[in-house]
Structure 1
Amino acid sequence: MNKCIVFILLSMLAFEVNAQLPAFFKDDSLLKTRSTKIVRKYLSPQRIVWTSDKSGNQVKNANAILNPGNGQPELIKGEYLKLVSHGDSYPGILLDFGREIHGGLSIITSIGNDKQMGRVRIRFGESVSEAMSDIGQNNATNDHAMRDFVISMPWLGGIEVGNTGFRFVRIDLIDPDKSIEIKEISASFSYLDIPYLGSFISSDERLNSIWMTGAYTVHLNMQDYLWDGIKRDRLVWIGDMHPEVMTINSVFGFNEVVPKSLDLIRDQTPLPDWMNTISSYSIWWILIQHDWFYYQGDLKYLKEQQKYLAALLHQLSTKIDSDGKEMLDGLRFLDWPSSVNQAAIHAGLQSLMVMAFQNGLDLCRFLGDTETTELCQSSLEKLRKHIPNMAGSKQAAALLALSGLVSPEKSNSELLSKNGVHNMSTFYGYYMLKARALDGDYQGALDNIREYWGGMLDLGATTFWEDFNIDWMKNAGRIDELVPEGKADIHGDFGDYCYKGFRHSLCHGWASGPTSWLSQYVLGIEVLEPGCKTIRIKPNLGDLKWVRGTFPTPYGILSVSHQRMDDGQVKTSYQAPKEINVLLEK
């Protein structure tokens, strides 16, 4: 056959195959797959925290591992990190990537290795001490995400391992009389590549850092679904999502991870089951739907929830006794620190029931559902007949104020303003701040934010934690250092309930409350109509000299600036999309 004809036929065949590839990857009938918008970025380590060997005989050329790499094995010999074991003496190195991330590790080996490569043990840690721990030590685990395991290394190649939340990585050569030369080590950072549309900058750098840390904490948990934690609890916990969703509303605007997660938990929970087996979490689903509708204004999406929403509200209405008391079954839960106080749980659930029917009433009016609207009204009348006491609980006090069952002044003066930040929690701290704002105690709330969330920053946090007790700070070392002799290990020695010791998550989205709180109450942006059609701007600067920031709306960015003048008055300027009606209130 003529060579020219053969070339043409082969070219046509190649074109035909290539032309089919896009359809092949798009057609689920041909290839069952799931898509993701998660991207990866490779980060070089920022510092070496520790090595097992100071002599240079077993850990050689350590500083070379800090050089940025290109991800490519090469045939060029160089001065690279080399780990050498002698008998029963094994080398190790601990790296710091600068801040908490979600992802894994990429390791590239060099040509300077024998083909019979050894094995290494890899330990990820949210703290230095966790990366230095063994499974079982201070409750260190591989729960949800593997963070402590052994791998075989490739000769002159690359390997990527790990899928967890971490900042620190320890690598140990575990085979005797072996050496491994490593050209580069990078963190494989997996995240949604989305812009930070909202912002908050004030005269207090501590508050600025807290706002951004809360935003970043939630960003890391925005994976294919909205998780609670990136190391542990990589699940859709719908109640925990509420502070996260409010942070997303304030920082990122619309993102499909929210409705995708709301729909997942709805579809996983046929009634009469409770979401995540917790009755209050089904209520939080209603509250999130309400806030999401007001911030994003998607009536089409809300209508898709109508059948389930109405049925859930009907089910909740059967959980009220003749005296107006809630009698919710399932797991009765607010947050972990309040879980031993049954009277507080009842007060909180009573309040959440009121909030569910308040929000349900509002949503059903937009949906034109007269029957369920009337059901919500009658349920509210019953529930308001019973007002529980605050049971010495700041969680209960906050919810009672937010529901209107107790005045914000009573809630704040009798409990929330007492004893500083003791008895706060990272989850319900958000609602404590909101309740203090309802009483006009913005300064008290700002002081709480600085001390409580700022306390985590003082201990080296780059994301906010599953829980935090201010008493843990006494004589505690930082999470980004080897614990000094005589100091407490803030990660390994503390925690409670299901999060004792190293099982404690140091990146938990429910702890992001100050981010949306500062945007709403200090920057002063309050959404009054669905889709941000009407927004009230009412700044509350407390002791701040100035604050400025941005806020994402479905129509574009709202920019706001407040400056305290010499006479104490606050001068405000703003720029808003033309579709938004702005009400400025001094």
Structure 2
Amino acid sequence: MKKSLLFACLLLSFLSPGFAQKQATWIWYPGDYEVWLGNNMQNRRTERGTFLPPFWKLDSHYNLIDFHKDFDIPEAEEVELTVEGRYNVKIDGKAFPGFPTKITVPAGKHRVSLKVFCQDRVPAIFVKGKNVVSDNSWLVTFEDKEWIDETGKASDQSGTTWLKAGSWNFNTAQTPPSAFRLNTTEQAAVKTERKPGSILLDFGKETFGFIKLNGLTGKGKVMIYYGESREEALATETCETTDELHLAMTQKRDSVMELTKAFRYVSIQFDGSVSIDNVSMLYEYLPVADRGSFRCSDEQINKIYDVAAYTLHLNTREFFIDGIKRDRWVWSGDASQSYLMNYYLLFDSPTVTRTMLAMRGKDPVTSHINTIMDYSSYWFISIYDYYLYSGDKAFVQQFYPRMQSLMDYMLARRNKNGLLEGLAGDWVFIDWAEGLSKKGEVSFEQLLFARSLETMAVCANIVNDVPNATKYAKLAADVKQTLFSAYWNEQKQALVHSRINGVPTENVTRYANMFAIFFNYLDEAKKQAVKKHVLLNPDVPRITTPYMRFYELEALCALGEQTYVTKEMKAYWGGMLDLGATSFWEEYNPTKKGAEHYAMYGREFGKSLCHAWGASPIYLLGKYYLGVKPLTPAYDTYLIEPQLGGLAWIDGKVPTPDGDVSVYCSAKDIRVTGAAAGTGTLRFASKAKPICKQGAIRTTSDGKFELTIEKGKSYVVSYKL
């Protein structure tokens, strides 16, 4: 009995927080690692051997950082220190000599602090003791505004701004942040064609990584031509990416190319006495698993979903990038869509925040994000979405000042009417569309601006900045009021595209109209008018990029047109599959023929055949077919409103911060399992009285039915569609 009691006491003491070894992780100044990593990644782009860096301003990390935390520990403990950079370490303000790798922290209350300088990498620390460990509860600053007067007295007021440290998942001393690399795995080609002096490889689908030449020997030149299509790999003069080697080797060895490339096909040509046993690749990827899923009665839709998921994975790297072949940069418009797809497939919040921070960079703000006016607005809207899906208040609280300074920049660039109009240095993008006017006060830009101001009002309330919350909300309301008084055309029953010199044009485009629907800026009458006169009107110029098809189809889904969207999805994304696509493209125009599909930007193979914005079916099928979306931050309350869209049945999962929501729906029954936290509402229509044994169904004022979904519980509803 005594042994059992002793064992129980030991077990309890082992499980108690005071006894357990706390988790240490590498920490740094928040946002700095993301900026540093982004600079490294975005400067890897080459085009036929030429280095092509981004054309916008790149910031740098702060190279001198103070770290500290106050501890209260029950007994003295030895603490190990690993640091990226030169540093000093202090306990209660008293410095240790040299660069100690171990210190002893006495029992009781003590402040442990380090000051680190590092120019080529981000200053970072890894502190590991029993209780004294580095984590994101440490405070950091790049600017110590303390001083000591002539008597030795420290200043009695502080002007230093301290933030909580940044971190990711570097949880051992041997994995410093600067050593981070994506994972790789070796893969073989599915088909190899050899001729004297040449090898043509087909890896079976679009892929990304390093080409590896195995058993390489001899003297001569090796040229490698990469192609997303067979035609591109064989076009030695016009393919977008190449590698070149000059050899003088007497012994066989394997050689891995220095930089990653995107390709399906690879053409290798060599001369002299060069010999290559075989060629493989090192596939490079971020190890993040799918949590969301979707299956339905239509196999083509299933294939579209699978290829969309693969497309998103290829473009989910250190950050969400635009496309794997050409730019490989972080573009705000592209990334804002990747975030939404991510919430329905991966729910990988670290990649979202890394990407947002890398794009935002540092103050002062001297241009729009990516130099594009609409892309600054997308950055704000992405924060709105991120908070809704994740509930991450800490991110907003930490980076609210950077939101303010970017918004100040935008506010300073308004014209006399209080609206945004392209100034010198502003790229007004909107979409790749031939003949699309960017002149004057474009309605689409005002709509995004209003939403950005609404985001600022939400974030100001989160940080208890009440005066600015009121200011931003008023500005948003003013822009929205102007949007409808200046751009709504009663005759056309739509928002017109622009005003030039204060005069509205007669031109109607889809952009502002479709965003106004899912931003819920239109009343029901205007929504139906826009659907009829714009979205379903063949006379309004069609959209050919997956980028804006995303939003067009979202607007139609928000209007309940899922059956129409199913047909459009099958025609548009299915059209790419019919042409042999293994990932989705930057642009698709069904009127083009053959290799015409690969041309863009005046270049024969300029188009990206793996572009993140092509993966939008993930989002559409999760949010508007499975019908799952958060109503309040972090899915504290959420809606499940499944829509078959002409399909016989649908089945899938939607990830949340706390588990997944499972949904199955046919014309006869709905099966739902709630997430591990939060309260859901299942909403549906039925021609007969529905039955559910697991919960009470209630009738809504508009004649639909609702059922409360409690956390972790499963429900089966019998109904008649």
TM-score range, shorter chain: 0.7 to 0.9
Cα distance, 1:490 vs structure 2:
3.8
Letter in 2 for 1:518: L
1:431–1:151 distance in 2 versus 1, CA, 3 Å: farther
Letter in 2 for 1:228: D
Cα distance, 1:411 vs structure 2:
2.4
Letter in 1 for 2:234: M
Residue of structure 1 aligned with 2:179, choices 35, 39, 47: 35
What is the distance in 2 between the residues matched to 1:343 and 1:313? 22
Counterpart check, 1:547 vs 2:650: yes
| 1:409 matched residue in structure 2 | 528
| 1:362 matched residue in structure 2 | 458
Cα distance, 1:27 vs structure 2:
3.2
Say if 1:352 and 1:403, in contact at 8 Å, map to a contact too: no
What is the distance in 2 between the residues matched to 1:303 and 1:322? 32
What's the secondary structure of 2:263's corresponding residue?
strand
| 1:141 matched residue in structure 2 | 240
What is the distance in 2 between the residues matched to 1:540 and 1:334? 30
| 1:459 matched residue in structure 2 | 579
| 1:92 matched residue in structure 2 | 198
| 1:274 matched residue in structure 2 | 368
| 2:230 matched residue in structure 1 | 128
| 1:574 matched residue in structure 2 | 672
Cα distance, 1:210 vs structure 2:
1.5
1:322-379 deviations in Å (ceiling 9; x for gaps): 6564335322121221673236981210211122123333333333221222122211
What's the secondary structure of 2:339's corresponding residue?
helix
Say if 1:199 and 1:251, in contact at 8 Å, map to a contact too: yes
1:457-492 deviations in Å (ceiling 9; x for gaps): 1111111111111212xxx3xxxxxxxxxxx31444
Residue of structure 1 aligned with 2:544, choices 424, 428, 433: 424
1:213–1:116 distance in 2 versus 1, CA, 3 Å: closer
Counterpart check, 1:295 vs 2:374: no
Cα distance, 1:256 vs structure 2:
1.6
1:24–1:174 distance in 2 versus 1, CA, 3 Å: farther
TM (normalized to structure 1)? Answer: 0.78
What's the secondary structure of 1:305's corresponding residue?
helix
Counterpart check, 1:519 vs 2:625: no
1:462-501 maps to which residues of 2 (within 5 A)?
Answer: 462-472=582-592, 476=593, 488-492=594-598, 494-495=599-600, 498=601, 500-501=603-604
Say if 2:421 and 2:441, in contact at 8 Å, map to a contact too: no
Letter in 1 for 2:302: N
What is the distance in 2 between the residues matched to 1:392 and 1:341? 11
- Structure 2: segments with no counterpart, 5+ residues: 1-78, 87-119, 122-176, 488-495, 498-506, 685-721
TM (normalized to structure 2)? Answer: 0.64
What's the secondary structure of 1:385's corresponding residue?
helix
Give the greater-gyration-radius structure (CA): 2
1:37-71 deviations in Å (ceiling 9; x for gaps): 510011111123x55xxxxxxx3xxxxxxxxxxxx
1:381-400 maps to which residues of 2 (within 5 A)?
Answer: 381-383=477-479, 384-387=481-484, 388=487, 389-390=496-497, 391-400=507-516
What's the secondary structure of 1:462's corresponding residue?
coil
Cα distance, 1:244 vs structure 2:
0.6
Say if 2:513 and 2:534, in contact at 8 Å, map to a contact too: yes
1:103–1:290 distance in 2 versus 1, CA, 3 Å: same
What is the distance in 2 between the residues matched to 1:117 and 1:151? 8
Cα distance, 1:452 vs structure 2:
1.0
- CA RMSD after TM alignment: 2.6
1:344–1:105 distance in 2 versus 1, CA, 3 Å: farther
Counterpart check, 1:170 vs 2:170: no
What is the distance in 2 between the residues matched to 1:122 and 1:341? 41
For structure 1, which segment, 339-348 or 518-527, has the greater mean C-alpha deviation from structure 2 after superposition?
339-348
1:240-297 deviations in Å (ceiling 9; x for gaps): 2111111111111124222112111212563252111112111111111111111111
What is the distance in 2 between the residues matched to 1:544 and 1:153? 62
Cα distance, 1:126 vs structure 2:
0.7
What is the distance in 2 between the residues matched to 1:581 and 1:465? 38
What is the distance in 1 between the residues matched to 2:602 and 2:573? 18
Cα distance, 1:499 vs structure 2:
6.4
Say if 1:210 and 1:454, in contact at 8 Å, map to a contact too: yes
What is the distance in 2 between the residues matched to 1:250 and 1:392? 32
Higher strand share: 2
1:86-119 deviations in Å (ceiling 9; x for gaps): xxxxx32211111111111112117xxxx63443
What is the distance in 2 between the residues matched to 1:361 and 1:212? 38
| 1:226 matched residue in structure 2 | 320
1:21-32 maps to which residues of 2 (within 5 A)?
Answer: 27-29=83-85
1:163-312 maps to which residues of 2 (within 5 A)?
Answer: 163-175=260-272, 178=273, 180-182=275-277, 184-268=278-362, 270-312=364-406
| 2:89 matched residue in structure 1 | none
For structure 1, which segment, 147-156 or 163-172, has the greater mean C-alpha deviation from structure 2 after superposition?
147-156
- Structure 1: segments with no counterpart, 5+ residues: 1-22, 52-58, 60-83, 85-90, 477-487, 566-570
Say if 1:344 and 1:393, in contact at 8 Å, map to a contact too: no
What's the secondary structure of 1:503's corresponding residue?
coil
Instruction: Tell me: higher relative CO, structure 1 or 2? Use CA pairs within 8 A at least 6 residues apart.
Output: 1
1:502–1:26 distance in 2 versus 1, CA, 3 Å: farther
Counterpart check, 1:503 vs 2:606: yes
